Structures are given as C-alpha cells and as structure tokens.
Structure 1
Amino acid sequence: MDLIDLIQKLEYPDKNIPAIEIHSYLKHLKKPVFYEKNINKEFPNEFTPITGKEFLTIQYNIASALFDYGVEKGSIVGIFSRNNLYYAATVFAAMSLGAVVMPIYPTILQDELEDILRDSGCKILFVGDVAQFQKGLAILNKIQSPLRRLITYFDSRTKHDQLITIDDLLKFGEAKSNYEQINTIIPEINPQDNAALIYTPGTTGGPRGALLTHGNFISQKVVVPMFNFTDKDIRLAHLPFSHVYGFSADLLTSAYTGAPMAISSTFESEEIYRNMIEIKPTVIATVPRMYEKLYISTIHTIRRFNPIKKFLYITAIHVGRECYMAQSFGNAIPKGAEIINKILSPIKRSIRKLMHMQQVRLLFSGGAPLPLDVAYFFGGIGLPIIEGYGLTETSPVVTINRIEKNKPGTVGCPIPGAEIKISDEGEILIKGPMVFNGYNKMTPEEKAEIFTHDGYFRSGDIGIIDEDGYLRITGRLKDIIITSQGKNIVPLNIEKKFESEPLINYICVVGDRRKYLSALIVPNFHLLRQYAREHGISYKTDEELVSHPQVQSLYKTRINEICQALPPYEQIKKFTLLSHDFSVKSGELTPTFKFRRSQIHEKYKDIIDLMYPTSDITRL
C-alpha cells in the first residue's frame, strides 16, 4: 500500500501535535508547505517548494528509522542544528513515536552541549553542520558518553559505527517501513505526555530544561482564530527552532494551519531581507532587534532622498505616527492630521514597499521589550506590531495585544485560558493550560519555589495590569538593583529611556550595592564611524575610537540630557564605551537578545570596578 494511503487510514484525535500536523498536511498533499534553500543542488540559492506529500514522506521515513533504533515514548531526541527542512521533519517524526524533542541552540559550546546531553539522558543527536558535528562526535567518542548515535543533516565522510547521514537514515527508514507501528503509536499519545524538553540559557544562571507537554503547546491554538491564521498565509521563519518562540509561533502554528513556511537558516538581517523579497511573507514573528534594524535602515535610506521627496516621506511618517498614537491611547484623531494621513497614504505604501513588506498583514514581536519609537513608526505606516508576552515555561504565549485594540508599551491581555495576577512584590503570576509542570529532574522542594500554593507559576518578571486589563512589563525580579542607600531600581526602566538614541546599540545599567549607577555601553559603530569621518576624528581601531575625548564628550552629553528626566538616584553617573558588540555567541545575550546580566557582570567585572573607587563598594 502507498505510504500516503496508509497515513490517510489513521484516525487523528485532536489531542497531540503529530495528529494535528499530519491531518493538516494531508489537506495539502500537492501544495507547498515548506520552502527552503540548498535542497536543489542545481539552484542552491533559490527557495525550493516542498509539498505536503513530500514532507510527510520524509517525516515518516525518519520516524521509521528512529523506531528501529529503539526510540519510544519518553525517549529524548536531540537536535543541534540551525533551522532546516530536516529539522522540522525530525521534530514531528520524533513526536510521532511519543518521544520528547530536545532542540538545542546551534552555537553553544561543547561543554554546555555535554552538560545538556547528560542532564537529559539524550542518546540520539541530530547535527546540522561541521562545527556542530565535531562537538557531537567528541562527546560520542568519550568512554562514558551519554550518546549512542549521531545523525548528520549533511554528507559526512567520517566513518563511525554510530554515525549515519540523513540520506542514509531516510533510505534505512524506507527499507524498514515501520509505518503501521507509527500509526498505532500516534493515537496513544495524550495531552499530558511530554512533547519537548527545551533548555533555556536564562538571564541569571545556567541552563534548565523545561518539560512541555502536547497539551501545553496545543493550548496555543487559541491564537489561530484570533488573528485569522489560514493556509493562505506565508511565513518566513528565521527565529531558531531551539527557542520556544520560533518553535511554537512559526513551526507549530504553520503545521496547525497548513500555511507554507519559508525556512531561513540564519538570523543575519541582510539574508532575512533578501528572503523577504523572494518569499513576500504575510506573517512575520520576530524579536524587537530585527524591527529596530529595519526601522533604522529605512530612516537612513529616506534621509538620502532629494529634499522634496524626503520632506514628503518624513511628513507621512510623522503624521501617521500622530494618528496611530491617538488611536492607541483611545483619543480622537485630530481632523487635520486625519485628512493629511489619507492624502499621504500612497507615500506610506511606498515606505512599506521600500521595506519589502507590501504583502505583510501581521507583524508579531516578543522575547524582549519593543521600543516605543519603533512601534509608533510601524503603526504609523500601516503595519502595527502585535506585541505579546510569554516564557519558555508557558509554551510561550500568555498575553498578547489584539488587532482591534493594540496598545504599544504593553504586551496585551491574557489569551483565552490564561490567568495572570500580580503578587505583593509586583511579580507576574501565571496559571493556565500553557504552563509547564516543571523542569527536568526537579525536586518537590524546587517545584514549591516556582509555584504558589494555589498553583500559579512565578514568572520572575515584574509588571502592572492597566485599567483595560493589559499587562505592562517593568523589569525582572532578580534584576533589581539595590543601591548602598537602599534604593530599589529596575535597570530596564532606565535602559528603555535610551531606546531611541541612535548612537547606542546596547546599554546595560549596573550599580548593585554601589553609591550610584553606571553603564556599559555598546555604541552603534556604523553611526559612530560616520560621525568620526564628519568631524575629522582619526583612529586606527574601534578601541581608539571609543576612547577619543571627543567621542567620550559626545556620549556624556547625550547621557546627561536623557538622564535629566530621571530622579537623581536613577541617573547614570559614569559609563564605559565598549569597543565590541554584545552577542549571543559571546555570552552577553540570550537567543532573543535579552541581557544575561549575571554573565555580563562577571565578564566585565574589572571594567565595572574601574567605574567605582574601592570605598564605593558596599561590603557584606
């Protein structure tokens, strides 16, 4: 019997992820459900469409091979790779066997990888490139290795009894044809069964593995009708599937609806823009940093227009912003602004075209705060960004703005089924079907620390709920700075004041147990070098550039101007300009570009100490 005929025989109860996914893709057997580059070797730089039939065939053959390797309900299947088609197929193949998928961030170090593999008990690991393969192979070759098999998504010439390439795995799975067994397993997978083990780097410490069930992820389906997601949408997935945001918002949501998804293997903005031109997505889910880069590059392009054209475009942006702000605050739009806004509609369409977003109908942002300037810019040109809030532990969405009532500066109100409340300490507490049961190997005592007596998850985030029931995030509980004078300060609130400062890429406020606040600043080197050229500042290295007295004076002036609006104890008294960027790879940022403050404090301890005389440090 033909494989697809066999799959179609299966009853698909709406209670687990692979059942929903297979049922969805069976409706699109001849239509593209994925697009990916590097599939067609003759045209590696072009997106190749993959139909529902082709994808299900790949998925079932991977599952058939894994079944023969002994993968069963509860087994951990690790994926250490950048996004690709086989990654997506492996996720659903492993879940079809009742296994637990463990997506691993693609650039972690070998020691971190080994810690995760040992903690999870993972025996089978898929790897995506040579660097990931070398790390996996080094662990596989250890005497007491947790690994039993390594599978590469590329053609590896290395010979090893426990190594197999994806091409050979697919042939092996097809030869074994364990399809009937797979069809028997899928209906037995229940909502309370674990679906994924996602290790989060955290912002204050080492990784912890969050166990998420099929029911946790399926609870997120409530957003599908809220935003009218259909198979007519086209998604561009560039967030790593190793992060719960990309895993759920892109991979799973596309599977639920059957919407085709173009897979971008990189987070490089230039590559993403090129992919946008080719794919013309209707839905984009990303992090604020990507919107910021697009906003800045668009403004710089407009500034190079001839005077008349520049005036028209800038006016359209300002008037659109004014109208959108009024609408967001629930105020009446000034009549004059409303008329001008309509007249300049063609200009706003041109701006969207300039950004390659003429087909986009929905933009989503999460993982970090969205700067208000960026939110008002996009809303003003007719592309309001829908901001939401969630965590790895909540699968992830808990609250989200609505199309009909989008309030920049907030992360919206709870999705159906979610409950939130604010503790006496200001912490956001969460309950609902999206909340996990706990971390891997967590003791009852540890569980009692992260859940309240009445079952609410302690998020660790600080927030307030406004009069409309919309949540506003104000900081992290563990990020609070307590000065030597006893002042409690949320650094994020201060850092937000610098969001619209073009010369600053990142600013991290420090000063716990100190007399005053200081800051580590990563300049926007593109603009700073431009400033240096225009003002005749000579330098050989970025280190020389940031140390130049004129540059120091420039930043001091801007910092003082911005800090004037703050109370004295929240003002930044000293700062250090760093000569390099923060990054995920170098450890300062999480995959969604939040600060890993404990790592920053440790890495830059000597630099921070230089901003304080010894006597300023409060002794314990």
Structure 2
Amino acid sequence: MRPERMATADIAPARAMPAGHAPGRNGPAVPAILAVNARDHGDRPALRERERGIWRVWSWRDYHRRVMEIAAGLDALGFGPGEALAVLGDNRAALYFGTVAAMTLGGFAAPVFPDVPPGELEHFTRTARPRFALAEDQEQTDKLLALRSATGLPEIIIYDDPRGITGYAEAGLVALDDVAARGRALLDADPALAGALAGRADGGDVAVLLHSSGTTGAPKGIPITHAQALAAVTAAAAAGCFREGDEHIAYLPMAWVGDFVFSIAGAMALRFVVNVPERQETVARDLREVAPTLYLAAPRAWDLMLTRVQVGMAESTPVKRWIYDRFIGLATRIERDRLAGRRPSAGRRLLRALGEPLVYAPVKDHLGLSRAGRAYTGGESIGEDTYLFFRALGIDLRQFYGQTESCALVVCQTGDDASPHTVGRPLPGVELRLSEAGEILIGAGSVFGGYLGGGDTVVETDPQGRRWLHTGDAGHLDARGELVVLGRMGDLRRTADGTRFIAGHVENRLKFSRFVRNAAVFGDGRPHLAALICIDEQAVGQWAQGQGIPWTSYAELSQHPEVVDLISSVVSEANAGLEPGQRVRRFADLHKDFDADDGEITRTRKLRRKLIETRYAALIDALYGTADAVEIEIAITYETGAEGTIRRRIRLKEVG
C-alpha cells in the first residue's frame, strides 16, 4: 500500500479499560467487564426498559445476575464455546441479556434485522449455522420455525414473549424465563459454577457476528471480537466521544454495529445507563422522557426530527411562527459564522441568549434532546440545513465515519472540527491513508480479521502487525486535514464525454432536501446524469396541504404537477453545488419509495443499484429521451410475500 497522504490524531492515546477488568489471554472480554461493574458499582442503574408505560430498572448487579442465569441455562442445554446464538427481534432487555450470556460462554450473538422476511433469513444464518436462537415474540419464532423446516436449524428456539406460543407443540421450543430459572437453580446448587462459566470468554473470541449491507451482493458475515469492539470504545472515549455514566437510548436495530458498540461494548466499558423504549412506535415519546446525554441517529432520523418540528410550527399560531422563524434564523446565522471562524457580535450573542428559554430549550425538550451533550450521526452524509439547524439549537451534533468491519468508530469530528462537509479526523490510535486511487484505508485495533467463511479480502496486515481495512470508499483530505467522504469507489462512473462522477455523492446532495427520501442517479456511458427520486411523503404531503393540493396516495402525490415542479427546484438547488458535468439534467418522481422487501435497498437503507437499474430500465431509458411521461410496468412484492405487477404513468422532468 503506497499512501498518498496520512493523517493521525494528535490526541493522547487512550489508556486501557479501567483497572480491575479480567485481562484474559487476549485482553478483557465484555462479560468480565460486566462482572467488575456488578462488583464495584452493583447498585447503580445499568439498564432500563419501558413496559406498559412503566420503566423497569436493572442495576449492574441485577444485569450480571440475569446474564449468568441465562448463561448457566444455555450451558445446560449444550450451548458451547464458538457457537452462534441467532437473535431476532426489536431492542429488548431480554435480548441484550441473552446476547451477553452467549458471549459469557465463549460463544457469540448473531443478531438479524427484525424485519427480515423468512425467505431472507436463511442467508443470514448460513455461515454461522446456529443450533440456538433467541426470539423476541411469536412473529420471530414463526420465522425460525420456518427456517428450521427448510434447513434443520436452529434446533433450540428460545422465546421471550410467550403470547401466542404456549400452545405450540413443536420440539425444541423453550421460554427464556425457563432457561433462566434452570440456570438459577444450577448456580444456587453449585457456588463454583459462576466462576467456571465466567472464565470461558477471552478478548480474542468472537463476540458478535454482524453482516455487511449487501449493496453489491449477498451480505457477508463480519465477526467482531471483544478486543476489536473494546478498541473502538477506547478510541472514542479518549477523543471525548464517550463519557463514563452517559445516558443512552437503545432503539437502533441490534443487527447494526452502532447498537452493539453503543449499547453493549460502550455501555459495559463506560457504565452507560441503557434505556430500552417500549416499542419502535414509542421511541419519540420515550426519548423525551429519557433525555439521553449521548444520542446516535442516522442522517435520515435527524431529517425526520427537523420535519416534525417544521410541520408543528406550520400548524401553530402566527405569533409563535414569527418568534420561531426569527430566533431560528438568528441562531443559524450565528452557527454559520462560527463554522467559518467568525465570532458573532455582542448583540447577536445577547439575542441568542434571549432565544434559549423562548425557542431553543422548548424545541430541544420536545425532541428529547435537552441533555444531549454528545450527539452523533453517521452512515451517510447529512444535509447542511439539518446539520446547521440542530447545532443552532445548541446541540453539539457531530459526524463520524466507519464501517461494520472497523466497529464503526474510526474517524470523528472532535473539538472545534465541526463541519457539515467533513467527517473529522482519526480517533486516537487510528491511522488513515489514501491510496493512489483515492480509496480510504483504515489501520486500527478495531479492524476485523476477515469475513466469516472467507470471501473478498479487504484486510491487509503490515509488517508491524497492524490490520488495514480497504474501505471501498473514495475520499480526500481538505485543507484542514479532515476527511471528506465522496462515496463508494465502485460508484465511480464516467459519462459519455468522460466526465467522472460518483453517483452516491450526487444522491446525497439531493437527499439534503427534506422533500427527498431516496434517490438513484444514473449516467454511466450516457450523455448526462438522470435521477429517480422518491419523495418524502410526510414532508411533501404537509407542503401539499399548505398549497391546497388534494391527494390520496403516495403514487398520486408524487405525480402531481406542482409536486414535480417542487422536486425540480430541489434538483436545481442541488445542482448549484455540483460541477457542471455532475448535474442532474432529467429526473422522474417514482410512484413509490425504494423498499427493502422489494430488494431495492438494504435493511440499512443503502441502494442496491444493479437491481434498481434492471427493474426500472425502461424508465431510465425514457429519461434519456424527449417524452414528458412514460407508462411503466413494475414488479412488486406485497406484505404477504405474494408477487404482482402494477402499471403507472410516470412524469419526466427536464431541469432548467
């Protein structure tokens, strides 16, 4: 690897995990840290879960005891070192306990996105071949039973919520409470058992099996060891991204690396209080009650919060709208000046202070972010307007960069580095290089060792023993030495005249608008760039209501002439920030959003570009013609799994 340039953090290296953690042969394992927390901070709250409107609290001692009960029960059932425990369901305390219990026995959890349909589940369990699975409820249990019918595994399915399952006659079904009760009896009968079980896990063991997003093919298994996950946490803590005792809300999918690093590895190492919402539908309400000090959300979630505020203000009184618009405008201008290195005037600072109790504090309280001292976003670019809005409110929103293969946390905005256009500098102990082709290479202790079952080689080890991850992302360093991520190297294309463009970069510019939920840009070998755009139904619907435009469905709304003109203005605004050869000339508002069940996006909402190009080939070809509309027939998958086709007339628009 021949580096073009190198950037390293100038922050002092982080010290190892706090004293008292059992080192293991290859460093501490997560369960050993839990044991120390239970011993030294046993009465402090570790996890809260809302059930039927009431927050149930587990102390560190309770957490450890429950994990050991489940671990002893699993051990009695035959779960052993190196085995996988498939985990299916939304964020639940029981699933976190089961996950850590599997690690305690030297095994690992293999969480799967809860909305994965039965037909896709086989792929996510193919490499690990788990004999054991932990399901949240009847829905997930039914998926696992279907999987067993097709593959013979898993042999034992453990369920948390018994509603609808108690009458099942299938073999190998067991309630989690029964597993824990059996483990509790074994622990009470043999005082030495807890110590024997606790000594199994080592820092070099696989702690969790996650999966790549699968944008270019089938998702690949990514085994993450305890040591790798804790290295990421240590680096983040050294940079001030994490602090001991943070309040965190666990609502992101357990199959996403961000949840594992924040809700399990980070929570253990720095004793976060992890708050589990009652349901996904109650996250906004529960977030307001918790008011976390540490908050992580994807850019789209920040966009949705901003849209919620804007919709609410649009429906308020004229006086409230006037006050809001005045003070938000003021704060945004101050934040622009601050990012540009300009100090706001004394008069502006005074007005900003006046706006805190009038506007900024109530909005933050309404969103549940009144205590969010550390707020982060990652996974893709965030829109400048969204970024500035939250920073203008006084929320220290920062971007980070990483992949599942590097435990997510390798580059982050720290100190005064905040910018909507960069993702910051490497964290302590992390090195960043750019290859001659412009690919981002990451060297860190958090880099994984390779995909489960082999596959593409994306990791190299240098003579010093450091693992280097070929991220597959294109980027460059700006004048301040901060990383700018352009998009996937595989997305680098050329138009017919040889102009280079990265589709993801242009798509992100389009998605900066609150009116655009998804976009797919094309132009490889074509005379110009064109785009398929999926509107944001909530934002566009609210705008249409204000314009007196009637609509009854997403498809009808997307094809309304005024809506097409609205999106045309959005495209024009995005084009203004792009080089001439990278601008979108024609677009179509799609009649539906890209859907994971249709295979058009991954479960992490990344485009499956090849499939989209095939499915919408006729529509894409029409964008390079002269017609202003086209009839297309599209294959769809219904919620029941049945397949069909629909015919739609799609408007095509030239951008002036």
* 1:451 lines up with 2:481 in the alignment: no
CA contact under 8 A between 2:472 and 2:488: conserved in structure 1?
A: yes
Counterpart of 2:80 in structure 1: which amino acid? E
| Map of 1:175 onto structure 2 | 185
Match of 2:37 among 21, 24, 35: 24
1:252-267 equivalences under 5 Å are 252-264=265-277, 266-267=279-280
- Partner residue of 1:618? none
CA distance in 1, matches of 2:555, 2:418: 43
Distance 1:609 1:316, change over 3 A: same
How many matched pairs? 594
* 1:110-140 deviation per Cα after TM superposition (whole angstroms, max 9, x unaligned): 2321122222121111111222211110122
Task: Find the partner of 1:323 among 318, 331, 334.
Answer: 334
Answer whether contact 1:239 1:267 (CA < 8 A) is retained: no
Q: Could you tell me which residue of structure 1 aligns to residue 57 of structure 2?
A: 49
Q: Which of 422, 427, 441 matches 2:434?
A: 422
Give the structure 1 partner of residue 632 of structure 2. Answer: none
Change in CA separation of 1:539 and 1:410 when aligned onto 2, cut-off 3 Å: closer
Structure 2 counterparts to residues 302-341 of structure 1, below 5 A: 302-341=313-352
Give matches, 1:479-494, under 5 Å. Answer: 479-494=491-506
Q: What residue is the counterpart of 2:86 in the other structure?
A: 78
AA partner of residue 285 (structure 2):
R
Equivalent position SS for 1:331 = coil
Are residues 18 and 605 of structure 1, via their aligned partners in 2, closer, same or farther at CA, if it must alter by over 3 Å? farther
2:325 aligned with 1:300, yes or no? Answer: no
Separation in structure 1 between the aligned mates of residue 352 and residue 486 of structure 2, nearest angstrom: 33
Deviating more after overlay: 408-417 vs 334-343? 334-343
Equivalent residue letter for 2:212: T
Q: Deviations over 1:482-517 (max 9, x none)?
A: 223332211233223334434322222122232221
Match of 1:380 among 392, 396, 416: 392
**Residue 276 of structure 1 corresponds to which residue in structure 2?**
287
Q: Return closer, same or farther for 1:81/1:532 CA change in 2, 3 Å cut-off.
A: closer
**Per-residue Cα deviation, 1:350-406 (whole angstroms, up to 9, x for no partner):** 332233322222211122212121111111111021211110000121111114443
* TM-score normalised over the length of structure 2: 0.84
> Structure 2 vs 1, CA of residues 228 and 517 (structure 1 numbering), >3 Å: closer, same or farther?
closer
Query: How far 1:152 moved relative to its partner?
Result: 1.1
AA aligned to 2:100 is F
How far apart are residue 242 of structure 1 and its match? 0.9
Contact 1:12–1:187 (Cα < 8 Å) also in 2 = no
| Match for residue 145 of structure 1 among 144, 148, 152 | 152
RMSD over aligned Cα, in angstroms?
2.6
1:487 alignment partner AA: T
User: CA distance change for structure 1 residues 57 and 199 in 2, over 3 Å: closer, same or farther?
Assistant: same
Give the residue type in structure 2 aligned to 1:493: H
- 8 Å contact kept, 1:64–1:179: no
Counterpart CA distance in 2 for 1:173 and 1:195 is 21
The Cα shift of 1:435 comes to 0.3
Which stretch of structure 1 is more off in the superposition, 459-468 or 504-513? 504-513
Residues 604, 131 of structure 1: alpha-carbon distance in 2 compared, 3 angstrom cutoff: farther
Q: How does 1:7-406 map to 2 (within 5 A)?
A: 12-13=22-23, 15-38=28-51, 44-142=52-150, 144-155=151-162, 156-157=165-166, 158-177=168-187, 180-187=192-199, 189-222=201-234, 223-227=236-240, 229-230=242-243, 232-264=245-277, 266-268=279-281, 271-347=282-358, 348-406=360-418
Cα separation, partners in 2 of 1:480 and 1:254, compared to 1, 3 Å: same
Deviations 1:182-210, CA, capped at 9 Å, x for gaps: 52354453322222211223322211001
Q: Show the counterpart of 1:579.
A: 591
Whole-Å Cα distance in 1 between the matches of residues 306 and 506 of structure 2?
22
**2:607 aligned residue:** 595
- Contact 1:349–1:358 under 8 Å retained in 2: yes
The one-character-per-residue Cα deviations of 1:545-578 (angstroms, maximum 9, x if unpaired) are: 3333343344334434543554443222222212
Q: Supply the distance in 2 between the matched residues of 1:251 and 1:322 (Cα, whole angstroms).
A: 39
- 1:517-536, aligned counterparts within 5 Å? 517-535=529-547
In structure 2, the CA distance between the partners of 1:179 and 1:494, relative to structure 1 (3 Å rule), is: farther
CA distance in 2, matches of 1:96, 1:465: 42
Q: Gaps (5+ residues) in structure 1?
A: 1-9, 39-43, 615-620
Residues 210, 256 of structure 2: 8 Å contact kept: yes
Q: Is the 8 A contact 2:530 2:585 kept in 1?
A: yes
- Equivalent position SS for 1:330: coil
Write the distance in 2 (CA, Å) between the matches of 1:105 and 1:179. Answer: 38
Q: Deviations over 1:4-59 (max 9, x none)?
A: xxxxxx97336111111221233343333111133xxxxx2322212223222221
**Structure 2 unmatched runs, 5+:** 1-19, 627-656
Q: Which amino acid aligns with 1:170?
A: A
Q: SS at the partner of 1:370? A: coil
Structure 2 CA distance for aligned equivalents of residues 182 and 82 of structure 1: 29
Contact 1:140 1:149 in 2 (8 A): no
Partners of 1:245 and 1:367 within 8 A in 2:
no
1:440 is the counterpart of 2:440? no
* TM-score for the superposition, normalised by structure 1: 0.89
Matches of 1:364 and 1:558, distance apart in 2: 26
> Separation in 2 of the partners of 1:281 and 1:538?
40
Query: Counterpart of 1:71 in 2: which secondary structure?
Result: coil
Counterpart code for 2:589: L
User: Is the counterpart of residue 514 in structure 1 residue 526 in structure 2?
Assistant: yes
CA deviations 1:332-364 (Å, max 9, x no partner) are 334543343234333322332233322222211
Residue 410 of structure 2 aligns to a residue in which SS?
Answer: strand
